[in-house]
Structure 1
């Protein structure tokens, strides 16, 4: 089962596109996991070890921040139609709502000079000084600022940093015991980029904005393991007794953008699976080389963890190979799938 997908993963490592990959395939209660390759090439070769912590980058958005926001909506403390300005008064545009942030249709644009050299306070102010461009509501344009704002809104309502809220309201209830925003031991972490400024980044978040904003960043910052992300997917796929709020399956699989044609749900991107009958799946990726796929109708999922930015970012050739692996997986999983 999944032989072609596994072969494609190994090819990705063997030809040097990524140092190594940890992966899992979920079919109801059955889970198949594997790892292949290295976790570090610089300063020396280190073979990949089981259940290491990965900087999952933007998976933080859908694993963490999205669930905190949906809990607030479920509790009646927040509405999808609420204006961002109601919670962040320094934000000047009155049109942007929670739904726009969740679906990346806010149209927020702007250039921040010397962004990575700013303090947290300066970056906070600069992000709130961005503006809404011509793509507002018309086009889905993926941007970290949407989930940074969502994190700040959750902080405003609940009075704690978003990463603290994610830990208390998502990681602990789901039993994701190894996941953390502050790894205690860098050697338990798969390294990312060798930066000319920061050196070898290991055990510290790779994303520059998350590095500056620290616990107040809802777009990146989470470190997680293969086992914990399997736990997350299995919980999502089961749809039973969820310890965290989630919309109904049909809502999560619907295009939630204002024009309903941008293939974006709440947080998650949508994919079309062709078999056993045409239906939608949800997925999300992280810049460091990670992605999650879930088919909520057939109760199947895939976890893919790599450090494609090691030793050098951005490693653009990885993207086409990643997409090919996703398509191979969608084809193979169909052979064992059934709509439920």
Structure 2
């Protein structure tokens, strides 16, 4: 009997498609080398590389600089502090870092790039100059650190994540690097993710835009800016980290807190504006929701992207300053696997013991004349959806007082209550002041505005 057990090993045609995508990326991006990995089911199922050096190719153990993917690691450290009760996301940064001049900015806003801070530091290009030029936070922030009103818009900020790294140090009483090593890297077994390069590692190169020549890029220690982009890592370590970002690890961060990180926390300014959670970028690609982060520093580009629904993650690293779009290539690798070998859905299973109160809410309801249906899933979640039309859909979690709390969409955080009559039967549902009845405009229910006593009728 076929039990539809998930086979992690990829089909030959899928593996060839992945190799081809990397080959095209290396050629078109004119990268000295590119290395990639795909994870599925929590395991690395494919590794590939392409290089300009004959007979040599990097593998999943070769370090590259990962740039702003470092921000995701920093966000994990901050969320750990929140979960331990050492800070609140709504706290002003002034509480932990007095004298910065951005006191009203909150931890939450820094995580989501909504603090209004400048994108870069004042002075020379910080990624290509010594950290000694920025010895204090004042040198990172400058005389005019706020360009926008905090909380009003998404504006990507490297100084913002520098503040978060300093916040970690202030609360923990240790360096950002030491905290990261002890609290994240060691528990997750990411022993090839380091603040400085450790052999074997790639060298960073600048490739001339109009000629097939190149020169080495400097590799600077970022100092205070380390928490925004310092790390070196490998495709194997990052594939393992991508799995953690979905499944969680109680030694580091719970799956619930990681779900919070993967939820949009930044106001957008139209369809072209990327979504952002806490240390994670969000996008829609090829009909699927993708979460991850890109990174770049002189000499290197990086991309880590995953589709939770497809249980597929991809990592792409290259050693060129520009030219190879690592995020685009990583998303393409996810799409290749997800499209060619779609994930088997979990088998349908009935309840072992259904909640009779919840069952009483199942079936058709009406919001005015709009037909809706409530379903109870085997995980105890109520689902509300329109019948035969597009509209607001929502999922609700049961609470101890008998109410239900919205988990997504328009009704996220809203309370759903079943109101019962004197006979104990459910009269109607109350959802944020909306009344849902068993019949359209049921005269027996407290429909706002009342119901015409003559009832339904034709014209004339």
Instruction: Compute the TM-score of the two structures, normalised by the length of structure 1.
Output: 0.80
| Deviation of 1:8 (Å) | 2.2
Sort the Cα spacing of 1:29 and 1:163 in 2 relative to 1 into closer, same or farther, 3 A: closer
Q: Secondary structure at 1:119's aligned position in 2? A: helix
Partner of 1:137: 151
Measured against aligned partners, the alpha-carbon deviations of 1:256-286 in whole angstroms (never above 9, x if no partner) come to 12579861111101122555xx5x3211011
Partner of 1:169: 183
Measured against aligned partners, the alpha-carbon deviations of 1:50-94 in whole angstroms (never above 9, x if no partner) come to 2111111111111x2111111101001111111112222121133
Q: Secondary structure at 2:227's aligned position in 1? A: coil
Contact in 2 for aligned 1:255/1:263 (Cα 8 Å): yes
| Deviation of 1:132 (Å) | 1.1
Q: Which structure would you say has the larger Rg?
A: 2
| Deviation of 1:222 (Å) | 1.2
Partner of 2:447: none
Distance 1:164 1:118 in 2: 18
For residues 1-340 of structure 1, the aligned pairs below 5 Å read 1=14, 3-15=16-28, 17-38=30-51, 47-50=56-59, 51-62=61-72, 64-109=73-118, 112-114=122-124, 116=129, 119=132, 122-129=135-142, 130-134=144-148, 136-185=150-199, 188-193=200-205, 200-201=216-217, 206=219, 211-213=221-223, 217-239=226-248, 241-246=249-254, 248=256, 250-257=259-266, 263-273=275-285, 275=287, 280-287=289-296, 288-309=300-321, 315=322, 317-319=323-325, 322-323=327-328, 326-327=331-332, 329-330=334-335, 332-334=337-339, 335-337=341-343
Contact in 1 for aligned 2:63/2:198 (Cα 8 Å): no
Sort the Cα spacing of 1:164 and 1:332 in 2 relative to 1 into closer, same or farther, 3 A: same
Q: Let me know the Cα RMSD of the aligned residues.
A: 3.0
Sort the Cα spacing of 1:338 and 1:135 in 2 relative to 1 into closer, same or farther, 3 A: farther
Contact in 2 for aligned 1:253/1:281 (Cα 8 Å): no
Contact in 1 for aligned 2:67/2:230 (Cα 8 Å): yes
Distance 2:23 2:79 in 1: 37
**Structure 1 unaligned blocks of 5 or more:** 310-314
More strand by share: 2
| Deviation of 1:154 (Å) | 0.5
Q: Secondary structure at 1:113's aligned position in 2? A: coil
List 4+ stretches of structure 1 deviating above 4 A: 258-262
Distance 1:302 1:29 in 2: 12
Distance 1:184 1:140 in 2: 35
Contact in 1 for aligned 2:17/2:336 (Cα 8 Å): no
Distance 2:291 2:50 in 1: 27
Distance 1:67 1:138 in 2: 24
Contact in 2 for aligned 1:70/1:247 (Cα 8 Å): no
Contact in 2 for aligned 1:26/1:32 (Cα 8 Å): yes
Contact in 2 for aligned 1:103/1:140 (Cα 8 Å): yes
| Deviation of 1:139 (Å) | 2.4
Distance 2:84 2:333 in 1: 40
Contact in 2 for aligned 1:253/1:270 (Cα 8 Å): yes
Measured against aligned partners, the alpha-carbon deviations of 1:142-181 in whole angstroms (never above 9, x if no partner) come to 2211111100000011111111111111110101122211
Q: Secondary structure at 2:314's aligned position in 1? A: strand
Distance 2:91 2:255 in 1: 18
Q: Which has the higher contact order (CA 8 A, sep 6+)?
A: 1
| Deviation of 1:296 (Å) | 2.5
Contact in 2 for aligned 1:67/1:246 (Cα 8 Å): no
Aligned length: 312
Contact in 1 for aligned 2:22/2:48 (Cα 8 Å): no
